[in-house]
Structure 1
Amino acid sequence: MELKEQIYDFIRAECYDPLVLASTHGKPLVINFANLDKFAPEIGEKLLESPEEYIALFEEVVEDFDLPKVPAIQFRNLPKNVDIRIRNLRVSNLEKFITVDGVVKIASDVKPRIYMTLHECQECGNVFEQEQRGSAIVKPFVCPNCGRREGSKLVEKKMYDSRWLTVGEPFEITTGEKPGELKVFLRKELTTPDLQRKSDPGNRIIITGILKELPRKLGHQDSTQTDIYLEANYVEPAEEDIEDITISKDDEGKILALSKDPDVVMKLVRSMAPSIYGNDEIKEAVLMQLFGGVPMEHPDGTRIRGDIHILLVGDPATAKSQLLKLTSRILPRSKYVSGKGVSGAGLISTVRKDEFTGGWVLEAGALVLCNHGLLAIDEFEKMAMEDIVSMHEALEQGTVSIAKASIVATLPAQTTVLAGANPKLGRFNIYTPISEQITVPTTIMSRFDLKFVLRDVPNPEMDEKLVSHVLKLRSHPEEIITDIDHVLLRKYVVYARRNVRNVKLGDDALAEFKRFFVEMRGKYTEDDQIVPITFRQFEGLMRIAQASAKVHLRDYTTKEDADRAIKLMQVSLRQLGFDPEMGKLDIDRVESSVSGGQRSKMKILMDLIERMEKDSGAQDGIPMEDLEAQAEEEGIQNWSDMVQKMINEGVLYKPRSGFIKKI
């Protein structure tokens, strides 16, 4: 049997209804390669080896059917042996049919491309075609009818829509390696508005196509070194966006029933990371983060974010990294990165010269790629200071502004950040402010709504439960049963984020917030100058309450939501904001380089220096040993550390060795 007859029989038997549907609606016919390989394995093998020839053959066969419009032919689900990592592409793969999995890093605009020109010979009047393959229009050398070498006139151009992508290897397969990159060429049916959205930067896609070479130029000559690119035949999302995840009627019924369960929050908490024992309050906070608050824009243009940012600081072996990884798998468009391997450009965005177009292009960073998703940053404290500082705008405003080369742009980065950090000395010290234990600017620290400590404190009762859980996990993992399976948990979060977009703050919740905030602020005294809570935490409370309402699929908050937000905020403040020396909550221990207790002692120290300078009449400062004696009389033990801090802040200076003076 001839090849064309075999292809005809295959389409008639396996693809006729989809073919008619595709022709009627002006869509391409997408063929499952597995079906072709089963029906006619020899054709499947030849298609992989000579894709251009056999795709053209399929198109010829389709023309034999009596259809209103001949659809394009696309193939999906190629065999695993032609699913190749970008870094592993070689000369042997050229002109072969392959599959590549990657994250879109750069995408050009959709632009028309000339693929055919029609020319009229000025000598004989013959109209003939000239195929256009390169970047410049090639004029015909000779008329095929009369043989005249010059004098043809361009009378028509045939064009199709086209787009260039740069895809990089996915995050999870590039640990310790430089991720490979590949140029991808899309045309015609692959540039529709729907597919354009799915192939925008940040999306992970699976591309079926033909690997081709792209000659390089050295002046006016071709280089011996060539580039490669993938001419796409079919593109599909590798991971679904929130709007693309399919939730069936059965799923919706389960979600609605679960939302009415009074214990829904704890069921979701227990199902989030079942392999991690305990830390339910931290898991509950992360659950609220997944659902998120509601962004708000005031009439004057001021925007208040809805994303809830969380920082986890903890001892080794407290499952921080595992919690970050598991959380990043729940929400679509989410990534896990390590702080020691990420740069400011990789996190935010950068501008670089494009080899193909010659112009400057914008390359999106992780915060932009995870827009409307979650970015989990492990080993946050290992990031370079300038890279951490570059996150300011994204964390608060949800945007990233770029002004480099010829590109000035503001990119959306409404990304929820879950960060994990390790203390400098390995273990967390409750007597030392967090700012002295991790190298993170206080301005960035204040952007995190909730901050928690995971401590490894020996406790016979807890240790026994933990060991039993780990042993059970190792020996009988099937016995670790969750209330909600991972698929339904993911769909529950997506359903809530998709359907509960606006949550109003109820009167009962507002009254509870007001009572809590005023009561906490009422503990402030002029003597110790310790501020227990600020308006930044007040805004965080409202975001958490809105997230709690979303868990219950409500569009308004209740006292229960307010109580949950207050509980989580109190846990966060107690863990990092409690000053054991003063016996009070001090927000400056969390969000400032100087705690309220230290500030109070610094004021005493400053008054002491001022008085000693006045009494001695010294113009060149006072001796440090005299200050030490006076400070100890006032009960200030760590006076030298405070003096150094005030020198760093520009309040004091050393006029000469061993002396200190007020500026």
Structure 2
Amino acid sequence: MGEDAGIDSASWRGMDGWIAYFGDLGPEGEESAEFIAKQVVVDRLQTFFLEPGWRFLKDIEEYDRSFHLDFNDFVSESPMRSIEKAIVDSPEDSLPCIALAAARALESQGVFCERKPQSPIELLVPRFTGISNLTGMKDLNSASIGKFLSVQGHVVRVGNVRQQVKSLVFSCCKCGKEFTQGFKDFKYASPMECPNAPTCRGHFFRPMTSSAVTCDWQGIRIQENLRDDVREVGRMPRTLDIELVSDLIDSCNPGDTVTICGVSKALNVEAGNNAGGRASKAKTHSLFKLYIDANSVASSGRSRKRRRKATDDDITDEDLTAFEEISGDLNTFELLAHSICPSIYGHELVKAGILLTLLGGSQKPETTEVCVRPDIHCLIVGDPGLGKSQLLKATTNVAPRGIYVCGNTSTTAGLTVTMVKESGSNDYFLEAGALVLGDEGICCIDEFDKMGSEHQALLEAMEQQTVSIAKV
């Protein structure tokens, strides 16, 4: 990219904008085939954003750190036919191209007047949502590394917010040359040689810690959603670690159902268990684990003020048609009650009680500090062999969010929340239990009479619908 007359090199259209997203050009410079190919993509996307695609950028303000793009809309309107394949197969190259094109389009429209590539403000990042093809956790393997994909699951663990080093200035101990070293995926690595080589052959460098550029980082863990028809016999539900950065921090809570779009990557197991990944064991072990570097997070968690208020996205056309047909039935309540576990004949009163438990009462306006619980609890008592367990399992399948546990094998921590100490540091994080995972849904506890002292852990959750944690 030659610097045209009138284009400031420190602008997003200049060389500094390119280096901010892609780093140094390398020995071949602007003559390299990779640079020329990326420049063609950036130019075409910039032209697209300025004319037909300006609606994707019109709401961005000066200091926004990201902007959201609907994946299907962007792919269908993009001038490049291969853009979908490029995003899925090469997200490390395609996402910076989209971001740089958007930054240049915004700068030409006078939006990025004060925001420069060399400023400490974080770079603009495109965040894709609405990918229809979800990838199951059982389908994640070595072929998925480096791909842009979407996964869904329950949040079972949320870590504390920490700071990761993105770049650091080093000083050569021999010639005194200072230079900046970037760390990809926050993996610390000391420089191998001095930039003045072969004039200077220094191999020892002093880090200038005061010059470190950091960003917020948070780790969460999700567990796959399994129904009875897809659950694998003899296997525990799979879990997957997710890394959140920048404005994605604190975007979900334990118990939320989330859809994560991001890049699948591999991390050395020993490096992942030690802060900063500087353990010497990591160099001698070749065992790696998969994780997702999140690009966007869509959470189903709702505040209590919005509770039980359906949105247009929650109801489909098929649901509206079914509502109209059911509303025309004279015995609507009886029809709904009989629809719960139809394989068990009778027990109309029990099914009616379960139906009322699923629906709950009307949410009271939060005008006072006193919490008025609108939901009811249901206790099913009966002789063995009457189908109590089958009714509970059918209830969890009917509810949008349902958790089934057996009381004789449950613990207090397994029902509420577990405080777990993170390996490699002294930080504690929360791991959700059955009640937290069933928040805004239903939690069915079988063999309730076989529980020991675990009943005490349910008092607060059943009365106040909260779980309190005190850790000193």
TM-score band by shorter chain is 0.5 to 0.7
1:401-454 CA-partner distances (Å, limit 9, x unpaired): 668xxx45xxxxxxxxxxxxxxxxxxxxxxxxxxxxxxxxxxxxxxxxxxxxxx
Change (3 A) 1:246 1:340: closer
The SS at the match of 1:4 is helix
Which of 353, 359, 363 is the aligned partner of 2:431? 363
Equivalent position amino acid for 1:226 in 2: F
Equivalent position amino acid for 2:88 in 1: L
Q: Over aligned residue pairs, what C-alpha RMSD do you find?
A: 4.3
Checking the alignment, whether the CA contact within 8 Å between 2:165 and 2:212 is kept in structure 1 is: yes
Distance in 2 separating the partners of 1:304 and 1:44 = 49
2:290 aligned with 1:228, yes or no? yes
1:437-495 CA-partner distances (Å, limit 9, x unpaired): xxxxxxxxxxxxxxxxxxxxxxxxxxxxxxxxxxxxxxxxxxxxxxxxxxxxxxxxxxx
1:159 offset after TM fit, Å?
1.9
Match in the other structure for 2:416: 348
Change (3 A) 1:121 1:273: farther
Match in the other structure for 2:269: 216
Change (3 A) 1:383 1:71: farther
Which of 387, 397, 403 is the aligned partner of 1:336? 403
Match in the other structure for 1:78: 131
Query: Where in structure 2 are the equivalents of 1:469-508 lying within 5 Å?
Result: none
2:102 aligned with 1:102, yes or no? no
Match in the other structure for 2:116: none
Distance in 1 separating the partners of 2:408 and 2:69 = 41
Change (3 A) 1:338 1:232: same
Find the structure with the greater CA-based Rg. 1
Equivalent position amino acid for 1:61 in 2: A
Checking the alignment, whether the CA contact within 8 Å between 2:337 and 2:352 is kept in structure 1 is: no
Change (3 A) 1:19 1:357: farther
Distance in 1 separating the partners of 2:338 and 2:51 = 47
Change (3 A) 1:341 1:102: farther
Identity among equivalent positions (%) equals 22
Equivalent position amino acid for 2:214 in 1: M
The SS at the match of 1:44 is helix
Match in the other structure for 2:18: none
1:179 offset after TM fit, Å?
0.5
Match in the other structure for 1:164: 219
Checking the alignment, whether the CA contact within 8 Å between 2:393 and 2:404 is kept in structure 1 is: no
Distance in 2 separating the partners of 1:111 and 1:208 = 22
1:55-92 CA-partner distances (Å, limit 9, x unpaired): 11112212221342473211223352xx2222331111
Distance in 2 separating the partners of 1:59 and 1:247 = 31
Q: Structure 1: which 5+ runs fail to align?
A: 252-264, 296-300, 409-663
Query: Where in structure 2 are the equivalents of 1:222-621 lying within 5 Å?
Result: 222=283, 223-238=285-300, 243=306, 245-247=309-311, 270-271=335-336, 274=339, 281-282=349-350, 285-286=353-354, 288-289=356-357, 290-292=359-361, 307-313=375-381, 321=390, 325-326=394-395, 329=398, 334-339=401-406, 343-344=410-411, 345-355=413-423, 357=425, 360-377=428-445, 380-381=446-447, 385-386=451-452, 389=455, 391-393=457-459, 394-395=461-462, 398=465, 400=467, 407=471
2:125 aligned with 1:58, yes or no? no
1:99 offset after TM fit, Å?
1.0
Checking the alignment, whether the CA contact within 8 Å between 1:209 and 1:233 is kept in structure 2 is: yes
Change (3 A) 1:319 1:14: farther
1:627-648 CA-partner distances (Å, limit 9, x unpaired): xxxxxxxxxxxxxxxxxxxxxx
Query: Where in structure 2 are the equivalents of 1:122-201 lying within 5 Å?
Result: 127-133=178-184, 138=189, 140=191, 142-145=193-196, 147=200, 149-150=204-205, 153-172=208-227, 173-174=230-231, 176=233, 177-191=235-249, 196=250, 198-201=251-254
Checking the alignment, whether the CA contact within 8 Å between 1:141 and 1:150 is kept in structure 2 is: no
TM-score normalised per structure 1: 0.48
2:62 aligned with 1:31, yes or no? no
Equivalent position amino acid for 1:347 in 2: L
Distance in 2 separating the partners of 1:316 and 1:384 = 16
The SS at the match of 1:202 is coil
Distance in 2 separating the partners of 1:18 and 1:217 = 42
Checking the alignment, whether the CA contact within 8 Å between 2:168 and 2:208 is kept in structure 1 is: no
1:17 offset after TM fit, Å?
1.7
Checking the alignment, whether the CA contact within 8 Å between 2:420 and 2:429 is kept in structure 1 is: yes
Checking the alignment, whether the CA contact within 8 Å between 2:407 and 2:451 is kept in structure 1 is: no
